[in-house]
Amino acid sequence: MEHLDNRSVALIRGDGLGGTSRVNTLLYTRGAPLEYNHWKNMGHSAWGYDELKPYFVRSEKSLSHSKSDFHGGDGPWENQTFPDLQFEVLKHVRPAAAALGIPEIPDINAPDAPPVGCAMLDVSIDASMRRASTYSAFLPADVAFPRKERLKICTRSIVTGIEVATESSGLRAKGIYFERLDPSSKTFYARAKREVVLCCGALGSPQLLMLSGIGPKEHLQDHGISVVRDMPGVGSHLQDHIDIPVTFETPIEDSLHVLLVQPWRAVSQLAKYFISSKGLFAMPVTQMAVFVKSSLLDDNSEIRTRVPEDEDNVADIEIKAIPVNGSHIQYPKLGVFSLLPGLVRPKSTGRVMLASTNPRDHPAVDLGFLSTAEDYAVLRKGVKLALRLGEQIRLQGYPLKNLQALEGQSDEGLDSFIRAHARSGFHYSCTCRMAPETDPVHPGVVDDELRVYGIHGLRVCDTSIFPEILSAHTMAPAVVVAEKCADMMKSAPSSGT
Ligand SMILES: Cc1cc2nc3c(=O)[nH]c(=O)nc-3n(C[C@H](O)[C@H](O)[C@H](O)COP(=O)(O)OP(=O)(O)OC[C@H]3O[C@@H](n4cnc5c(N)ncnc54)[C@H](O)[C@@H]3O)c2cc1C
């Protein structure tokens, strides 16, 4: 990436039923009501917090919070907090934050959660201490099997294109082409009786649209693809959270790395998990995070005592505390603790393009990280705050050693540290954005009912439709998009849209 000293950063996606929720960190956060109300104020009247809250509640079964106006108690998707901290270093995080004037937040998903605080996070792990992926929650055997006459699931398959026909009423998606992953597979065709719904994620959905001739005309022509519909918005406005790992050495016993260095510990912990559903394998990697709104920090990342009047009261920095190495630099045999300041309201945007016309190739992704100066300013404060938290943990008597050399804390020094260590937060969004197609800067791809402009019978339903990225981890908002999409499809006329 141009602004990361031309470094590449790793991107991850889960390929399987349940998508990336099969491999992710399972943190369940929703974002602030103000952010959804911002979507609403952008003109998407059915996408404000009050309109979406019933979908959050409908899908959720919280095992840690009482059922309420905003927490679900009967939904299919379980989550819980993990207040029992198994690593000493984690026990120091809340006191360290308190010493810096950062209070505890009892529930980060409460609509009135403040923009500064330290919170135990909800994690989508079920009562049996198993991963509650969207697959296990929403497509369990008792839902899938009774529907097997009308529900066909093709695993180990890849969609290679959408068939779009020209009818008297205009363009219409008629079905999809797909292949088995086996390289010698023939091509199959599935006809859509009503609609085609793309849910290939913010990297996959624009790729498939472009492979099908729907995207920026010049880019399609460069790849020799016949243009079905010129849509400059497809793949543009890619947004992602930017994480900067700040790593520290801990005693090996006090880091998850103990499982690598002492394999017998891994075996005994695994046995403990299978026998009693307890131990390290029953714990999420991330249990807590510190949230801060950068305008409430001064240049030394001290909390200002006088809070500026600001209606946009949403944290733009999230610092995750994890007992493991969060950086791309390897520290074999060391115990590592990381604080991961993440910029969760980035201004930088990138794009998804085709690398080739082969659907099995990954798309070419430019995250566009750090293409605006504003993002640097927030990240500097995030890194300084992480260092101050580390210092406080040491002041409490914990033997924490800095692992990365950071020459002073000048803007130049911090910026080069940020460039050298930035990594993806894996929250890719907005590449088929819900926005007017005529938006002069970032043209939209879908309307408020997630229908692709100018093509009947085609919707997109994943994080690519976000009009703007949220400060939340993106899995719970993706589920809400899916819940809402299902309702809109049920109420659509049977001839399709
Ligand atoms: C390592 C990691 C950790 C994360 N941790 C968290 C977390 O703790 N909390 C959180 O909220 N979010 C987290 N996320 C992000 C979250 O998982 C995603 O935002 C969310 O899963 C996005 O949902 P989606 O439906 O938009 O896309 P996905 O879940 O990515 O699903 C899209 C699916 O479509 C498939 N696909 C793509 N193209 C094709 C094709 N042509 N044919 C067939 N299938 C195709 C992909 O293989 C994928 O399985 C994490 C992500 C990663 C990578």
Say if residues 314 and 115 touch (Cβ distance below 8 Å).
yes
Q: Please check whether residues 325 and 289 belong to one and the same domain.
A: yes
Please indicate if the annotation marks 480 as binding a ligand: no
Q: Is residue 366 in a domain?
A: no
Q: Is residue 183 in a domain?
A: yes
Q: Using the 8-state DSSP alphabet, how is residue 187 labeled?
A: E
Q: Is residue 125 in a domain?
A: no
Structure token digits, residue 58: 């409908």
CB-based pocket (< 6 A), ligand 1: 12-16, 19-21, 23-27, 158-159, 199-202, 204, 208, 359, 426-427, 462-463, 473-476, 478
Residue 25 CA to ligand 1 centre (angstroms): 11
Q: Please check whether residues 248 and 198 belong to one and the same domain.
A: no
Q: Please check whether residues 263 and 332 belong to one and the same domain.
A: yes
Q: Supply the CATH number for residue 320's domain.
A: 3.30.560.10
Q: Please check whether residues 172 and 193 belong to one and the same domain.
A: yes
Residue minimizing CA distance to atom 14 of ligand 1: 24
Q: Please check whether residues 471 and 401 belong to one and the same domain.
A: no
Structure token digits, residue 266: 């891994």
Q: Please check whether residues 291 and 380 belong to one and the same domain.
A: yes
Q: Please check whether residues 189 and 154 belong to one and the same domain.
A: yes
What's the domain range around 213?
A: 1-81+130-236+355-361+428-497
Q: Please check whether residues 382 and 270 belong to one and the same domain.
A: yes
Mutate to test the pocket of ligand 1, among 26, 123, 200 (most ligand atoms within 8 A of CB): 200
Q: Supply the CATH number for residue 52's domain.
A: 3.50.50.60
Report the chain (497 residues): mean pLDDT per 10 consecutive residues: 86 95 97 96 97 98 97 97 95 96 95 94 96 97 94 95 96 97 92 96 98 98 98 97 97 95 95 94 96 90 69 90 94 94 97 97 96 94 95 96 80 92 97 96 96 98 98 98 96 68
Say if residues 463 and 479 touch (Cβ distance below 8 Å).
no
Q: Please check whether residues 184 and 312 belong to one and the same domain.
A: no
Which entry of 65, 71, 427, 442 is annotated as an active-site residue? 427
Q: Which of 26, 12, 67, 461 minimizes the C-alpha distance to 286?
A: 26
**Quick check: is 427 catalytic?**
yes
Q: Is residue 98 in a domain?
A: yes
pLDDT of 307 reads: 58
Q: Is residue 55 in a domain?
A: yes
Q: Is residue 350 in a domain?
A: no
Say if residues 383 and 245 touch (Cβ distance below 8 Å).
no
pLDDT of 311 reads: 65
pLDDT of 497 reads: 53
Residue 21 CA to ligand 1 centre (angstroms): 6
Q: Is residue 348 in a domain?
A: no
Say if residues 27 and 286 touch (Cβ distance below 8 Å).
yes
3-state secondary structure of 318: strand
Q: Please check whether residues 416 and 433 belong to one and the same domain.
A: no
Q: Please check whether residues 443 and 495 belong to one and the same domain.
A: yes
Instruction: Give the chain's domain count.
Output: 2
Please indicate if the annotation marks 159 as binding a ligand: yes
Q: Please check whether residues 339 and 290 belong to one and the same domain.
A: yes
Say if residues 484 and 221 touch (Cβ distance below 8 Å).
no
As a whole number of Å, the CA-based R_g of the chain is 23
Q: Going by C-beta distance under 8 Å and a sequence separation of 6 or more, which residues neighbour residue 180?
A: 156, 157
Q: Quick one: which atom of ligand 1 is closest to the CA of 13?
A: 53
Say if residues 24 and 206 touch (Cβ distance below 8 Å).
no
pLDDT of 407 reads: 62
- If you write DSSP's letter for every residue of 216-261 in order, what string do you get? -HHHHHHTTPPPSEE-TTTT-SBB--EE--EEEEE-GGGSTTHHHH
Q: Is residue 266 in a domain?
A: yes
Q: Quick one: which atom of ligand 1 is closest to the CA of 462?
A: 26
